[in-house]
Each structure stands twice: as structure tokens, then as C-alpha cells.
């Protein structure tokens, strides 16, 4: 099948999904573009503020019904298993669609689609097996801790891994018996719309899911402020997240925020250098650096710095940047022309700040929004390009002399998302890992993900956590039940 046929099979019209009905959104039409050559994937209608309000109102009616929140956990789990199965039945087509949507290489999008299916399957299994709690009785009564749905959840996702980040919110939120109004990133609506068709086919009742492509500043804002929206689950940039947290505070509404990062990777002199070179390259340049967890600050022990950098730069120069449809491609294009310009401005800033370019720093010839893998050195950790998230294929390398100085610099960041350690000394690995102020630490590996392990950002990288067995509880409210067991009436009123 041609790419156009695949897109038409999964996203057959310009309609969007509002309150269980496929229809034209009342916002402007959006031309989804293939970042590898700028060609148009599809014209999609977008939601306006009234569509957003309509979706929320439909959601507020839908979640309470017997066919959703009223289902027993194992019954609702069946719907989630079906979603997982349907995703896997369309695995290759969805991977191609995701490639067209945001330009990631096909090998990466295949993994993302499989991970979306795993997420639904995992939360279905959690839903079936999570216990409510009988708490120790302290009198003539029995006590229980149970959990209820929250209601209408607004899920707001970024463009870098749409199908996987949508699944990470939809699966636990639906498992919890809630309704979800999903707002995908403006530039990547296709995977979310395809997922909506799958959810509908799998038996998610009308109104329980709406998908609203459109502008964050309009749709996202209406969703966050709407009184019937009872929780926002947001993944995106720190500044937008901060604005959402402010609005959520006004409503006293729970909010979970998965935000930006500027993650340090550190290589000690005793590390297996072949592993470390490959791991550092993968950590920053896979996904073209468009990953919140990208290892974008590199610290290398001074005694091996020159040798390590020689090997790293030689391999970075050989990375295959190009056509995302080829299995051999390691780096696809950046998401948009505008985003590439922002990456370029950061590289120029790094050079102005005194940085030296070791490789990259240019656009390759040809169409599309490509940018070469870029490594700079000669900067201190206080340089702006070491402190601000670039979200592109740009690595800044710095030597370090001892563990204390390393930890000071590694932790000197407003972000606290992830970190990588390369060493053969397990005691040091443990010591350093525990001292790092980040939600995830990879030891002799990088960017591994498991749905059964929680994920959270520290500091300005976020609030709340996703994934893991208790991920469903992030989308439920705890309730305590007291059962009186005393035969006599309460003595106080006698
Ligand atoms: P972004 O913050 O610009 O947009 C994210 C989403 O928020 C989009 O759907 C956007 O339309 C919406 N939005 C924009 N303005 C809004 C507003 N005022 N109110 C409500 N919603 C609004 O981020 P992006 O450019 O799409 O994605 C890149 C960012 O996402 C990076 O900072 C990256 O680190 C972060 N990210 C974090 C994680 C994580 O798990 N921590 C994962 C992926 C991406």
C-alpha cells in the first residue's frame, strides 16, 4: 500500500471525534505535513472552543453510565484488551502512519505502536488484579479503602511520540472508569484519530472518548478551565505545564505534568567504552533528540575525555540521517521548519557562548526538516545551552575531575527527568544514582522503558507519575468506607 492509502485507511476523512460522533470540527482546517519532505499527509478539521465544550459535556454524561463506570473491572478490562489487539492487528499501518505524522524512522515507530498496545494490555491486567484494601479495624467497625473514577479527564499530549504518549494516558484513565477528552499536539493529529477509531471499534461507549485536534492555546485552555473537567494529564513543555498548574490551582483540580528535561549522562574512566559510546549516541541522537529524556549533557572523566570524544565524534559523523521509511535510517527529520530554526538558534548561541563545534551544526542538503547530529564542547554547565531544553540532536560534552564536582554539575539544572551512568563499579553506580536529583537513572544503559516501572519528573520536569501498577490510581479517587458492627445504638445520643 502507498503511504496515502495507509493514511486513508486509518484516517478516512477530515472528521474529528466529538462525543462519540465523527464530524467536522468547527475550527480551521489543518494540513498535516510529512516532515521528511513537506508533502501533505491529509487535511484534518480542527476543534474550536465550542467543540471542546461539547466534548466535555458529552463525556460528563457518558462516564457515569452503567456501560462504563458501572462495569466491573474485569468487564472494562476486556475493552482495553480489545484495543490492544486491534492496535497489533494494524501494527504496521499504524507505524507507517506515525512515521508520516512526525517523521520518526520506521524502526522507532514500530516500537512505539507495540508499546501502545502493551500499555493497554498492561493496564487491563492491572485493572483486573488490583485489590481494594480492607484496613485493620480499630473498634467495632470494619474499614475499607476503595477507589472511584475521577470523571472527565483532559489528556493533552505532545508531538514527539503521539501514539505511545496517548496510550500512556488513555489506558489508565479508561481503566479507572473515566471519560477522556484527548487533545493531541496541533501538528500530529493522525495517530490520535486512528486510535480513536480503534477505541470505538473495541467498544468504548460513545462520549467516553473524544479526540480534539487543534490549537493548544484554544482547545487546551478551554479544557483546563472547564468546570466539568476534573483532572488534567499533560505531557509537554515546562512553561505550558506551569500555566496549566496555575489554572488547576484555581479549580483545586489534580494535575499530572510530564515536562521537559536536560538530562546528564556521565561516563567514568572504568566504563566499557564501546557500550558507553553507543549508549551516549542512542541517548541523544535517537528520535533526532526530540525526546524529553534525551541525554543532552555529557560528562566524561578527564583522563579518558580525549579518547572518548574521538570515538564518539567519529561514530556521530557516521549516523545515517535521512528517509524515515528506510529500515537503515537512524535519524529522521525534525518535526517542523520552525522547530529546526529553534535548534539552529541554540547551536549559534552555544558558539557565541564560547563553544567549539566537534561535528554537525548544519542542515544536510535536500528537502525536509533534517539537522545533522551535533556535538559541542568547551562550555560550562552554566552556559544557556546546557541549562535550556533544545529538544533536538545537540549534545554538549564536558570533562569532569571527581565525583563531587560531577554531581554538583549534573544536579545543577532546573530539570530532573533522567540521567545515565556508565561505570563498571557497582558501588559507585549505586551511590551516584541515589544522589542524582532525577526521576529515572539508567546504569550502563539508556532510554530503556518498561510499562511496569513508574516514570516521573523531579523539579521542573513534572509532578505526578505515569506507568507502573498503581498508574491507574492516578486516575481514581480514594474513598474510605466504615461499616458499623455494633448492635447497640450510639451511646452518645442516650
Ligand atoms: P507543548 O508544551 O508546546 O505542547 C504540548 C501540548 O500542549 C500540545 O498538545 C499543545 O497543543 C498543548 N498546549 C499548548 N498550549 C497550551 C495551553 N495554553 N493550554 C493547554 N494546552 C496547551 O510541547 P510540545 O512542543 O508539543 O512537546 C515538546 C515538549 O514536551 C518538550 O518540552 C518535551 O520535553 C516535553 N515532553 C515531555 C515528556 C515527559 O514524559 N516528561 C514526554 C514527551 C515530551
Q: At 18, give phi and psi (nearest 5°).
A: -125, 115
The CATH code of the domain that includes 376 is: 3.40.309.10
Closest CA to 320 of 353, 359, 288: 288
- 140 falls within a domain: yes
* Judgement on whether residues 288 and 407 belong to the same structural domain of the protein: yes
CA-183 nearest atom, ligand 1: 9
Q: Is 454 in the pocket of ligand 1 (CB under 6 A)?
A: no
Q: Is 261 in the pocket of ligand 1 (CB under 6 A)?
A: yes
- 492 falls within a domain: no
Closest CA to 228 of 70, 63, 76, 66: 63
How far does residue 103's CA lie from ligand 1's centre (Å)? 17
- 182 falls within a domain: yes
* Judgement on whether residues 320 and 401 belong to the same structural domain of the protein: yes
- 313 falls within a domain: yes
Q: Is 185 in the pocket of ligand 1 (CB under 6 A)?
A: yes
- 422 falls within a domain: yes
When divided into structural domains, the chain yields a total of 2
* Judgement on whether residues 82 and 114 belong to the same structural domain of the protein: yes
Calpha distance 137→485 (Å, rounded): 11
- 414 falls within a domain: yes
* Judgement on whether residues 183 and 214 belong to the same structural domain of the protein: yes
* Judgement on whether residues 361 and 407 belong to the same structural domain of the protein: yes
Contact 259, 241 (CB under 8 A): yes
Q: Which residues contact 288 (CB under 8 A, 6 or more apart)?
A: 103, 104, 331, 332, 333, 334, 371, 392, 393
Q: Is 51 in the pocket of ligand 1 (CB under 6 A)?
A: no
- 34 falls within a domain: yes
* Judgement on whether residues 166 and 299 belong to the same structural domain of the protein: no
The preferred substitution site among 216, 262, 339, 346 for testing ligand 1, maximizing ligand atoms within 8 Å of CB, is 216
Residue 412 sits in which domain range?
A: 264-443
How far does residue 15's CA lie from ligand 1's centre (Å)? 23
User: Along the 494 residues of the chain, how does pLDDT read in single tens digits?
Assistant: 999 999 999 999 999 999 999 999 999 999 999 999 999 999 999 999 999 999 999 999 999 999 999 999 999 999 999 999 999 999 999 999 999 999 999 999 999 999 999 999 999 999 999 999 999 999 999 999 999 999 999 999 999 999 999 999 999 999 999 999 999 999 999 999 999 999 999 999 999 999 999 999 999 999 999 999 999 999 999 999 999 999 999 999 999 999 999 999 999 999 999 999 999 999 999 999 999 999 999 999 999 999 999 999 999 999 999 999 999 999 999 999 999 999 999 999 999 999 999 999 999 999 999 999 999 999 999 999 999 999 999 999 999 999 999 999 999 999 999 999 999 999 999 999 999 999 999 999 999 999 999 999 999 999 999 999 999 999 999 999 999 999 999 999 99
Q: Is 342 in the pocket of ligand 1 (CB under 6 A)?
A: no
* Judgement on whether residues 146 and 236 belong to the same structural domain of the protein: yes
- 80 falls within a domain: yes
* Judgement on whether residues 225 and 297 belong to the same structural domain of the protein: no
CA-223 nearest atom, ligand 1: 20
* Judgement on whether residues 50 and 120 belong to the same structural domain of the protein: yes
* Judgement on whether residues 226 and 285 belong to the same structural domain of the protein: no
Q: Is 160 in the pocket of ligand 1 (CB under 6 A)?
A: yes
* Judgement on whether residues 165 and 32 belong to the same structural domain of the protein: yes
Is 359 labeled as catalytic in the residue annotation?
no
The CATH code of the domain that includes 114 is: 3.40.605.10
How far does residue 156's CA lie from ligand 1's centre (Å)? 8
* Judgement on whether residues 385 and 475 belong to the same structural domain of the protein: no
Amino acid at each position: 500500500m502507498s503511504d496515502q492509502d495507509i493514511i486513508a485507511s486509518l484516517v478516512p476523512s477530515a472528521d474529528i471525534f466529538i462525543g462519540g460522533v465523527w464530524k467536522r470540527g468547527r475550527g480551521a482546517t489543518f494540513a498535516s505535513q510529512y516532515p521528511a519532505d513537506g508533502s501533505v499527509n491529509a487535511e484534518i478539521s480542527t476543534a474550536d472552543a465550542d467543540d471542546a465544550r461539547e466534548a466535555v459535556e458529552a463525556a460528563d454524561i457518558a462516564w457515569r453510565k452503567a456501560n462504563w463506570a458501572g462495569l466491573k473491572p474485569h468487564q472494562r478490562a476486556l475493552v482495553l484488551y480489545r484495543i490492544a489487539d486491534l492496535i497489533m492487528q494494524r501494527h504496521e499501518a499504524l507505524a507507517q502512519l506515525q512515521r508520516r505524522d512526525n517523521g520518526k524512522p520506521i524502526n522507532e515507530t514500530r516500537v512505539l505502536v507495540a508499546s501502545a498496545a502493551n500499555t493497554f494490555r498492561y493496564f487491563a491486567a492491572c485493572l483486573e488484579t488490583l485489590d481494594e484494601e480492607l484496613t485493620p479495624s480499630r473498634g467495632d467497625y470494619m474499614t475499607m479503602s476503595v477507589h472511584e473514577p475521577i470523571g472527565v479527564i483532559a489528556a493533552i499530549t505532545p508531538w514527539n511520540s503521539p501514539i505511545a504518549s496517548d496510550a500512556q494516558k488513555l489506558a489508565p484513565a479508561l481503566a479507572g472508569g473515566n471519560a477522556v477528552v484527548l487533545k493531541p499536539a496541533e501538528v500530529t493529529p493522525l495517530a490520535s484519530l486512528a486510535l480513536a477509531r480503534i477505541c470505538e471499534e473495541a467498544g468504548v461507549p460513545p462520549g467516553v472518548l473524544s479526540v480534539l485536534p487543534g490549537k493548544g492555546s484554544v482547545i487546551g485552555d478551554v479544557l483546563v478551565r472547564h468546570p466539568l473537567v476534573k483532572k488534567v494529564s499533560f505531557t509537554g513543555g515546562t512553561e505550558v505545564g506551569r500555566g496549566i498548574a496555575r489554572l488547576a490551582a484555581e479549580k483545586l483540580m489534580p494535575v499530572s505534568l510530564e515536562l521537559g528535561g536536560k538530562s546528564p549522562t556521565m561516563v567514568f574512566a572504568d566504563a566499557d567504552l564501546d557500550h558507553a559510546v553507543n549508549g551516549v549516541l542512542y541517548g541523544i541522537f535517537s528520535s533526532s533528540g526530540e525526546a524529553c529524556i534525551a541525554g543532552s549533557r555529557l560528562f566524561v572523566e578527564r583522563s579518558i575525555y580525549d579518547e572518548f570524544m574521538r570515538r564518539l565524534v567519529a561514530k556521530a559523523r557516521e549516523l545515517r540521517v535521512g528517509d524515515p521509511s528506510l529500515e537503515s535510517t537512524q535519524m529522521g527529520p525534525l518535526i517542523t521548519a520552525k522547530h529546526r530554526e529553534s535548534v539552529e538558534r541554540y547551536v549559534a548561541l552555544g558558539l557565541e557562548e564560547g563553544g567549539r563545534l566537534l561535528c554537525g551544526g548544519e542542515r544536510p542538503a535536500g528537502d525536509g526538516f533534517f539537522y545533522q547530529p551535533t556535538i559541542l564542547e568547551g562550555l560550562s554547565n552554566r552556559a544557556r545551552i546546557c541549562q535550556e531544553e533544545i529538544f533536538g540532536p545537540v549534545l554538549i560534552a564536558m570533562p569532569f575531575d571527581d565525583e563531587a564536582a560531577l554531581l554538583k554539575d549534573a544536579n545543577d539544572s532546573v530539570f530532573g527527568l533522567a540521567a545515565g551512568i556508565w561505570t563498571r563499579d557497582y558501588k559507585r553506580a549505586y551511590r551516584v544514582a541515589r544522589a542524582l536529583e532525577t526521576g529515572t537513572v539508567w546504569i550502563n544503559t539508556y532510554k530503556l522503558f518498561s510499562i511496569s516501572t513508574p516514570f516521573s519528573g523531579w523539579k521542573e520536569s513534572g509532578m505526578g507519575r505515569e506507568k507502573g501498577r498503581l498508574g491507574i490510581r492516578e486516575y481514581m479517587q480514594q474513598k474510605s468506607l466504615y461499616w458499623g458492627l455494633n448492635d447497640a445504638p450510639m451511646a452518645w445520643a442516650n
